[in-house]
A = this chain, B = another copy of it.
């Protein structure tokens, strides 16, 4: 299998991207890594060229570029060329740590939606106290969603959790303002009714956002506006608390050594929330092939983790299975 990689996207590109490939290469011997970007710069960080293809590109899309305009004007950018490789069948999946907006737009225009999926969604795996984790979508690919979009998200998330994370009959829940089925906006109530009648997914009803990190569900479905707000509220809370713990240590009310131990080991959820090293990237689901966005400030570990995630997506053929699922619904 071939993974196209935007080597020039992200805060620490190409260094962390290429070093992440060096790491992933050791474990994924059946993958060809196609690196799109400035060859000379890429080679500076590359261990060796086994299973590597370097594709020269001349442009870079950065965070200031308007996503839609950049896709059209910077056709020789590492991001557009990497996504185009999937479109042309020259690669099976694509990874970028560059502009989220540009990757979503390029994915939608070039890789294209699965027929019958009305809206693709952005999905990440978040940590839970029990180590199992949960997938949440949509995290902000959309700003408004209908009940039918939410139902599609439930199917996309369920297939992902089962095939990529290996969870048997993943528990799928819908974010609402109460666990009872009578709770929610009209959109949520409508989605609840449709999901309750579906036999192909293990729908467990509504979930409140306070029960996410304690492991209340394996797949958490919500509209892109709410999902984005929940994700950032969790991140913001973790960040502020981490800062408070650190300043407590610095203030000397706790010795450095003990404080350090407290941060390192027991607060695993906090650590997982603060780091993208092991979490993989955000998958743009609902497209015909895996399109994965790594965080802009990804370390080499985070890039390697995202590549392993893509490897699992390709190995399990989750995108192919989803195409098939939605084709059946079409009949």
Query: Are B266 and A262 neighbours in the complex by a CB distance under 8 Å?
Result: no
Given A229-B209, A262-B253, does the pair A143, B245 have CB atoms closer than 8 Å?
A: no
Q: Which of chain B's residues have a CB closer than 8 A to the CB of A225?
A: 177, 184-185, 188, 226
A331, CB-defined interface residue at 8 Å: no
Q: Does A167 contact B (CB under 8 A)?
A: no
Shortest CB distance A210–B (Å): 3
Copies assembled: 2
Contacts A254-B262, A262-B262, A266-B247: A229 and B236 contacting too (C-beta < 8 A)? no
A330: which B residues are within 8 A, CB to CB?
none
With A240-B129, A241-B238, A266-B244 as known contacts, state yes or no: A210 contacts B232, CB within 8 Å.
Answer: yes
Number of residues from A at the complex interface, CB < 8 A = 55
**What 3 pairs across the A-B complex have the smallest Cβ distances?**
A248-B266, A210-B236, A210-B232
Please, could you name 29 A-B residue pairs with CB atoms under 8 Å apart, sorted by A? Answer: A129-B240, A143-B185, A175-B229, A177-B224, A209-B230, A210-B236, A213-B236, A214-B236, A214-B240, A225-B226, A229-B229, A230-B233, A237-B237, A237-B241, A240-B269, A241-B267, A244-B267, A244-B268, A244-B269, A245-B262, A248-B262, A251-B266, A253-B262, A253-B265, A253-B266, A254-B258, A254-B261, A254-B262, A254-B266
